[in-house]
Amino acid sequence: MDVVPVALGERSYDIVVGRGARHELARVVAEGVPSARRAAVVTQEGIGIEVDPGLPVDVFVVPDGEEAKSLAQVEALCRGFAAAGLSRADVVVAVGGGVVTDLAGFAAASFHRGTAYVNVATSLLAQVDAAIGGKTGVNIPEGKNLIGAFWQPRAVLCDTEALETLPAREWASGRGEVAKYALLGIESGRGGPPSADDPIEMQVAQCAAIKAAVVAGDEREGDRRMLLNYGHTLAHAIEASAFGDADADLRHGEAVAIGLIFAALLAERMGRIDEAAVEHHRRVVEAFDLDGHLPRGLNAEKLVSFMARDKKAQGDLTFVLDGPDGLEAIRGIDSADVVATLADMERMAPWNDGPF
């Protein structure tokens, strides 16, 4: 097992990476939540991963899909916790991907104004990003993750054995985040940036170590942690524009891959990077078997509206962009540049049949 520490003083915890990491659950609960006498396990129907927290358990099954990340589901979970007799001294265990860890973490943060939780991450997306760092939350029609809390888990268990049964599209969702980490230019302490050629355990540990280092220095996204949102401003806007659309078929990491190419093209338009840097972004995205083309049927005005509500924004358009000094958050970007970059991406799309 590879153990990656998240150094946050009295809120510090470990990320355990490796095959069979879920079997560490009883130990980390006993050590991290010694007061617990009962556990609430939150999962989804198709996860199929059994865990043993070493305590009496109540299991709560939430719906599949991003729609599960709602205030209605938070209320349903908290009412279930109360009916089961869960106390503030007990523990919530999230078993699943990013939807489950985001939702269960926010329910834990809300129940009794803060109940301990542990993440057992079963998807690549959760293992390299979503389950780490204590950002919990749910969606509303106005935007993704606009309601939530910073609430650190007591441990994160990244069992790479669980990845063996992931569908291809779920692999793509996680690879979008790995591609992001490969482009951040942040040292992991475990060799170079993540590569598609590395063993999966190494990729997960490298990404986890990068995120742990950033979170330790900026827990509540005051500055440096914004870099972890590279490619996400457009990605979240694409996801938000499809909210409630049963025909929309784009995983989070696939949207991030598109957002990474968009961010590179926007930075090039603003004179921050050159064409060679844009091509580097394309090569990294393609190495992870991802498509960076803009999907058909998007509305530029609607996307800009969602991007203006992004959590990094302060009444303006804010993007994490590459530049001569590396990545940084740039505020006050002209919407005309954003629209023009979207139009450039549409012209490059293989399906192109006209302007926005």
Catalytic residue from among 232, 251, 281, 312? 232
d(CA 104, CA 215): 20
Q: Is residue 176 part of a domain?
A: yes
Long-range contacts, stretch 282-285, CB < 8 angstroms, 24+ apart: 284/179, 284/182, 284/183, 284/260, 285/179, 285/257, 285/260, 285/261
Name the H helices within 245-331.
252-269, 275-287, 300-308
Q: Are residues 153 and 291 in the same domain?
A: no
* Catalytic entry in 135, 144, 154, 175: 135
Verify that 197 and 310 share a domain, yes or no. Answer: no
Picking from 152, 187, 217, the residue at the C-terminal end of a domain is 217
CATH number for the domain spanning 22: value is: 3.40.50.1970
313 and 245 within one domain? yes
d(Cα 18, Cα 20) in Å, to the nearest integer? 6
Both 191 and 266 in a single domain?
no
> Which entry of 175, 252, 281, 312 is annotated as an active-site residue?
252
By the 10 Å C-beta count (0-12 exposed, 13-18 middle, 19+ buried), 112 is classed as: middle
76: tokens are 């349903």
343 is in which domain, residue-wise?
Answer: 230-348
Catalytic residue list contains 145: no
Interacting residues of 245 by C-beta distance below 8 A, sequence separation 6+: none
Q: Return the SS3 of 42.
A: strand
Is 283 marked active-site? no
Could you write out the DSSP letters of every residue in 163-216? GGG--HHHHHHHHHHHHHHHHH----SSSSS--TTS-HHHHHHHHHHHHHHHHH
Of 166, 192, 217, the one marking the end of a domain is: 217
Q: What is the pLDDT of residue 214?
A: 94
Q: Structural domain tally of the chain?
A: 2
Residue ranges in the chain modelled with pLDDT below 70:
243-248, 311-314, 353-356
Q: In this predicted structure, what is the pLDDT of residue 249?
A: 73
Q: Which of 175, 180, 211, 281 is catalytic?
A: 211
Does residue 25 belong to any structural domain of this protein? yes
Instruction: Clarify whether 221 is annotated catalytic.
Output: yes
Active site residue 23: no
Tokens standing for residue 26: 């009883």
How many angstroms separate the CA atoms of 140 and 86, rounded? 27
Q: Is 69 a catalytic residue?
A: no
Q: What phi-psi label fits residue 327: left (phi over 0), alpha (psi between -120 and 50 degrees) or beta?
A: beta
pTM recorded for the entire structure: 0.91
Say whether 236 is catalytic: yes
Provide the pLDDT for residue 311.
65
Given 175, 229, 311, 346, which residue is catalytic?
A: 229
For strands 143-150 and 2-6, give the pairing: unpaired
Contacts of 58 (CB under 8 A, 6+ apart): 38, 39, 40, 41, 80, 84, 86
Residue 112 bears catalytic tag: no
* Statement to judge: residues 150 and 294 lie in one domain: no
Is there a single domain that holds both residue 209 and residue 260?
no
Residue 232 known to be catalytic: yes
In degrees and rounded to multiples of 5, residue 128 shows phi and psi of -95, -15
CATH of the domain at 325: 1.20.1090.10
Q: Which residues contact 54 (CB under 8 A, 6 or more apart)?
A: 25, 26, 27, 29, 30
